[in-house]
Structure 1
């Protein structure tokens, strides 16, 4: 799966205009939130908790225009307690 690191910046620029400092701050906030969502997925003790964490990540990705991360989070919801999926999610966020 290919990732477009510019998608988030483009979405933020469309919403905020030419505000590079604000865009950078929101980008950091997005990545921090995505990492916390992945941590909650990884810490889930049951399939429902896993699916909830994946849904949160999917919603976060959707709100920032990270379509590919959104699709991966949707896939994650269907694969509870899959360590390889957690690694994929972390790599995806790392590429943003």
Structure 2
């Protein structure tokens, strides 16, 4: 998903300017946050935990204009319970970041 990678890097560059090391640090922090949110969704014991993690993921995705991830996370946040199929689709998108 080259487009997504470029979009994220462009958004980070807008914040960090022409500082490759800072962009890389921000990218790592973004990916760590996304991974934590995804793991929280996987471990969610109830609908509230699921929705909160999905909203966190949606916010992270929005912060770097990662539209496919933001869309899927938004769909997840609308669910009252854990959705395994949707979780798999989100994990696929995250793996491509």
TM-score by length of 1: 0.88
Q: CA deviation at 1:25?
A: 1.3
Aligned to 1:52: 52
Aligned to 1:93: 94
Per-residue Cα deviation, 1:16-74 (whole angstroms, up to 9, x for no partner): 11111111111111111101001111111111111111001111111122122111100
TM-score by length of 2: 0.87
Per-residue Cα deviation, 1:76-96 (whole angstroms, up to 9, x for no partner): 123431112111111111111
- Higher relative contact order (CA closer than 8 Å, sequence separation 6+): 1
What RMSD over aligned residues (CA atoms) do the two structures have, in Å?
A: 1.3
Unaligned runs of 5+ in 2: none
Given that 1:35 and 1:90 are in contact with CA atoms closer than 8 Å, whether structure 2 keeps it comes out as: no
- Partner SS, residue 18 of structure 1: coil
**Equivalent-residue separation in structure 2 for 1:53 and 1:44 (angstroms):** 8
Unaligned runs of 5+ in 1: none
